[in-house]
A and B are shown apart, each in its own frame.
Chain A
Amino acid sequence: MGPVGIVTLALLAAGLVWGVLVYNALVRRRNEIGNAFAQIDVQLKRRHDLVPNLVETARGYLQHEGQTLIAVTQARAGADRAATVARHRPTEAAAIGALAGAEAALDGVLGKLMVVVEAYPALKADATMRELSEELAHTENRIAFARQAFNDAVLDYNNAAQQAPANAVAAVCGFKPAAMLEATRSEVEREAVAVRF
């Protein structure tokens, strides 16, 4: 075949190689998102595991606050379920949204529980309670940074998948944009703002 044919073939080959490289890069970034989500999952699970201990320790002192404890247990169960669902579909916006909602609810009721604990100095001074709340605080730190890392991973993936010319490969191979975790505000803050005015 003539020189034109050879050049065309070479261009096609180059285009194919480029496509494969871009596809690999997108796959790598998507897996990063999955990994980052797994990290959040580990820390969330740690928090979910701490909550029953907290409830049991507090139950002895808080006989009249049964409602709060029940609410905490229920919120924890809800968050656990949402986390299991989202574990299998980390790039789906709906699953992440549901998880964010469930975690926000758990945050809210745990916040209320902490307020109640403040009013019972005997409970607050209990050694186990102190250790548990310290552990909870550090888990919250880690959750915050894990979420930040997840958002960074999502940003990298979205940048790679939506910029031209890679978005052509993304559209052909079915890479959809991923959703970030938005900042949450606890129920306590929202309620308090309403009450003030």
Chain B
Amino acid sequence: MRFRRHQEAAEAATTRLLLAFAAVVAVVVVVVNALLWAAYRLTLPWATDLPRLFFETNTALVLGFVLGGCWLEGLRLRAGGAHVAQLAGARPAQPAGAAPTAPLERRLERVVQEMALAARVRPPAAWVIARDDRINAFAAGWSEDDAVVAVTRGALERLTRAELQAVVAHEIGHLVRGDARLNMRLLGLVWGLQMVHGFGTRLAEADDRGRRHAGVLFGLALKAVGWVGWLGGRLLQAGVSRQREFLADASAVQYTRQVDGLGGALRKIAGHVPAPSPAPPACLAHLWLVPPGAPAAWQRWLATHPPLAQRLQRLYGSEGDEGDALPAPVLPPPRGDEDAPPPAVAALAPLAFAGAAAERTAPTARAPAPRVAITMPATAALEAARERELTALQRSLHWSSPGERHAALLALLLSGCDDDPRWPAWQRSTAAYRGAAAVRAEVLAMGPAARWQTLQRLATLTAAEDDRFVLRREALKLVRADAAAGEAPRLHWLRLWWLRQALAARPRARTAALPLPALATAAGAATAWLAPLLTAPAREVAAPPLRRALPLRRLHPMQRPLLVKRWLDLAAPRLDDPACAEALALACRLLDSPEPPAVTAALQARR
């Protein structure tokens, strides 16, 4: 996108529209003068001369209405950016603190500072609209001192750093060009034009005694002129607002030097179905990134924002399918080092992205982040491991014969805590299948996230087959053999119970819930058993052997989420460890309780 050209075009269009606006006001003044002159002539035909300063007074009156309305409207919202932001339901960002959105708000503050540097202005205050799941943002403020940029929680959670940066850049673009002030003034002028219409209405309506005087015709004419002027004013104001949106889009591209940031954000907005949120007040509609309500088709000319499709087309040019909507899932929370900024900017400060760039790939940026050479040992090993894991995953997709599935599932059952190549019991169990060793090699090459996915997939496949009973028995035998040797960690027990449950013969029967006194004991026993795994997975020694599975299924359904929450609190500092995350996920499945999102995120995270 040639942003400078787009910026110049938008500025020129704005100037044209403002001139047209001035013309509309001038036309209204002239027509009102003409009407008054005609009225004067009609009502007082014997007068030979117009009164002194006739036209000047009329002009002054009409301009007084129009400009006075503008001034009054400006007074109304002059309370400053913070006040307007509060009207929209925002609060200042809280980067410190233990709230789950604290790292996201920290990221927002940093992004706002970076974009303010790029725009050469003082950083505006960063505010957050905490209860809004939509992806949106707005800017408010009359000057640099009280400028505010507010972003919804949906935008914080669902946009990548690059996209958030582009959204903030768009809003700062609005602040730099004074769009809030311009829009306020135009709205005020429109309101002033509406006052002419109102005056005409008052003249035309009957007075208290139900009589109309000769001014009715004049009043009607004034009403008509006022209405036409007001409509023209509104259309022009909407046109100016749309041009300023294009200008802000081009400014966003200028500050971030990439198109995919804003493009990705707009595409996610197009594809996102938000949870219901309270609607913001309509008087602030023009300050947002996209209009909060959906405008009707006939309101196209009165729309304050151009249609999303048109904005995407301007961003990406008229190339094929890049304007399609993107899904907008909630992304995992940011960790210490973030995605690299676009290559054009990263080239200006190569240090920070030397190490981080090799470990991450930015999914929406088209150009790859700058890579440091492969001669560095740490990243070389990482690259090789990643390649190997991908190959293993691809090969695992082809495992469909019973022998392969058995070998894989048993290997997955026993893997993780100790990748000892011996596994004598496993070898005895899979002796009948010749490719078992190869399957195990693939399983051991996978990382924890890949193993979890493969385990789920194979268990689902096997649950429909008749040979699953053999597998259940074999799995139990293996873990018991390990336990007898004193080497069965808790994770293996959890996996075993879950596998047996997943491959059961028939759907689980509803078991009677435990009576109240036994509940506390059962929950306590379960927590005590799980605690070493959740709090210190690296130091886990073999679990004491159990005769039967924990009575988790007999807990009352209302108790289960509370128990899960308690486990999550216990495990929170260790959630990075894949064993801990997997244990929590398995425990949730055994409890038949939904998995907390933090656990899903931890399972999907790459090492």
Contact = CB atoms under 8 A, between A and B. Distances in A.
Interface of A: 32, 35-36, 39, 43, 107, 110-111, 114-115, 118-119, 130, 134, 136-149, 152-153, 181, 183-186, 188-189, 192-193, 195-196
A189 B352 contact: no
Max chain B Cβ within 10 angstroms of own Cβ: one of A140, A148, A185, A188: A148
Contact of A111 (B115, B117, B351): B351
Given A152-B120, A192-B374, 4 more contacts: A130-B336, A142-B117, A188-B373, A189-B370
A185 B371 CA distance: 12
23 contacts: A32-B120, A35-B120, A39-B117, A114-B355, A118-B355, A118-B378, A119-B378, A138-B352, A140-B351, A140-B353, A145-B115, A145-B118, A145-B341, A147-B348, A147-B349, A148-B118, A149-B117, A152-B118, A186-B351, A186-B354, A188-B354, A188-B372, A188-B373
A119 B341 CA distance: 26
A149 B119 contact: yes
B254 interface: yes
Nearest to A42: B117
B346 interface: yes
Contacts of A39: 117, 120
Max chain B Cβ within 10 angstroms of own Cβ: one of A36, A114, A153, A196: A114
Contact of B348 (A134, A138, A144, A193): A144
A35 B345 CA distance: 20
Which 6 A/B pairs are nearest by Cβ-Cβ distance? A192-B373, A140-B352, A183-B347, A144-B349, A137-B352, A140-B349
B120 A144 contact: no
A143 B347 CA distance: 11
A144 B115 CA distance: 11
A134 B350 CA distance: 15
Max chain B Cβ within 10 angstroms of own Cβ: one of A111, A145, A149, A184: A145
Contacts of B375: 192, 195-196
Contacts of A181: 348
Given A32-B120, A118-B355, A145-B117, A189 B376 contact: no
Contact of B345 (A119, A130, A144): A144
A149 B349 CA distance: 13
A141 B116 CA distance: 12
A71 to B, nearest CB: 14
A194 to B, nearest CB: 10
Contacts of A189: 350, 370, 372-373
B356 interface: yes
B349 A114 contact: no
A114 B354 contact: yes
Contact of B376 (A115, A147, A196): A115
A141 B120 contact: no
Contacts of B372: 111, 188-189, 192
A130 B119 CA distance: 30
Nearest to B375: A192
Given A145-B117, A192-B373, A134 B337 contact: yes
Interface of B: 110, 113-115, 117-120, 254-255, 257, 336-338, 341, 344-356, 370, 372-378
A118 B356 CA distance: 11
B301 to A, nearest CB: 35
Contacts of B337: 134, 137
B371 to A, nearest CB: 9
Contacts of B355: 114-115, 118
Contacts of B348: 143-144, 147-148, 181, 183-184
A70 B54 CA distance: 87
Contacts of A145: 114-115, 117-118, 255, 341, 345
Contacts of B115: 145
A180 to B, nearest CB: 11
Max chain B Cβ within 10 angstroms of own Cβ: one of A111, A130, A139, A140: A140
Contacts of B338: 137
Contacts of A183: 344, 347-348
A11 to B, nearest CB: 27
B254 A134 contact: no
B155 to A, nearest CB: 20
A186 B370 CA distance: 11
B107 to A, nearest CB: 10
Contacts of B257: 148
A188 B358 CA distance: 14
A13 B542 CA distance: 96
A184 B110 contact: no
Nearest to A139: B352
Contacts of A188: 354, 372-373
B120 A153 contact: yes
Contacts of B336: 130, 134
A141 B118 contact: no
Contacts of B254: 152
A39 to B, nearest CB: 6
A154 to B, nearest CB: 12
Contacts of B374: 192, 196
B305 to A, nearest CB: 26
A107 to B, nearest CB: 5
A60 to B, nearest CB: 21
A195 B372 CA distance: 13
B373 A193 contact: yes
Contacts of A148: 118, 255, 257, 344-345, 348
Contacts of A134: 336-337
A143 B118 contact: no
Contacts of B378: 118-119
Contacts of B113: 142
Contacts of B344: 148, 183
Nearest to A137: B352
Contact of B373 (A140, A144, A195): A195
A107 B118 contact: no
Nearest to B336: A134
Nearest to B342: A144
B347 A184 contact: yes
A111 B375 CA distance: 14
Contacts of A107: 349-351
B349 A141 contact: yes
B419 to A, nearest CB: 20
B341 A141 contact: yes
A73 B86 CA distance: 49
A115 B372 CA distance: 11
B354 A144 contact: no
Max chain A Cβ within 10 angstroms of own Cβ: one of B120, B257, B337, B376: B120
